[in-house]
Amino acid sequence: MATPETEERLLAIGRAGTAAHVERIVRGWRRVDRLAEARETARRHASRALHVYHDEDGMVVVRGRLAPETGALLVQALAAAREALYQQARATETSAGPADVHEETPTLTQQQADALGLLAETALHHGIDPGAPGERYQVVVHVLGSRSSRTARTFPRKRLGAWRATRAGW
C-alpha cells in the first residue's frame, strides 16, 4: 500500500496508532482501491465501440475501441490470418513461373486489411457458434517462496478474456 504519496501518512498513523489501527486503515484503502478498479473496469467496458461506415470512394472504414482481452484476441487472430495468407502466397509463387511472381509486397496495414477479410470470410463460411470450443490456452504461474522454493500451477483457459495477459507480458 505504501507509495511515495502515501508513505508519510502511513508512517504518521503507524507512530500514533496501534498495529490494529494501521491494519484497519490499510484494509479501507484496499477496499477503496478495489471499488475504484471496478469502476474503471465498468467505464472501460462501457467505452467499447466499433464503427463501420462507407467512405466517399466506397471503401469501408473500420474504427474501434476494444477491451484489452478482446483486442489481444483480435491481434492474435489477425496474426494467424496474415500467416495463412503469407503461406498461401508462397505456395502460389513457387507453383508459378518466375515471370508470374508479383513483385510488390503488401504493407503491414494492407496485410492487416487482407487478414480481417479472411477472418470475416472464414466466420461466414464456418458459422459462428459462441459455445464452440476454440483454441485453448494455458498460463503457467511460477511462485517464488520465501525460501527460494519454486512451485508452478497450470491454469487451463477457455478464452483469452479470462486473464489480462498480453504477448508482451503481464
Instruction: Name the residue type at position 47.
Output: S
Question: How confident is residue 96, by pLDDT bands cut at 50, 70 and 90?
Answer: low
Closest listed residue to residue 50, CA positions, set 65, 61, 31, 60: 65
Mean pLDDT, residues 132-143: 52
Dist. CA 144–CA 146, nearest whole Å: 7
DSSP of 30-94: HHHHHHHHHHHHHHHHHT-EEEEEE-TTS-EEEEEE--HHHHHHHHHHHHHHHHHHHHHHHHHHH
**Per residue in 14-64, pLDDT tens?**
888 888 888 888 888 888 888 888 998 899 999 999 999 999 999 999 999
Mean pLDDT, residues 141-166: 44
Question: Residue 76 has which C-alpha cell?
Answer: 492474435
Rounded percentage of the chain residues whose pLDDT exceeds 90: 35
Give the pLDDT score at 131.
65
First-last CA distance in the chain = 20
pTM reported for the whole predicted model: 0.55
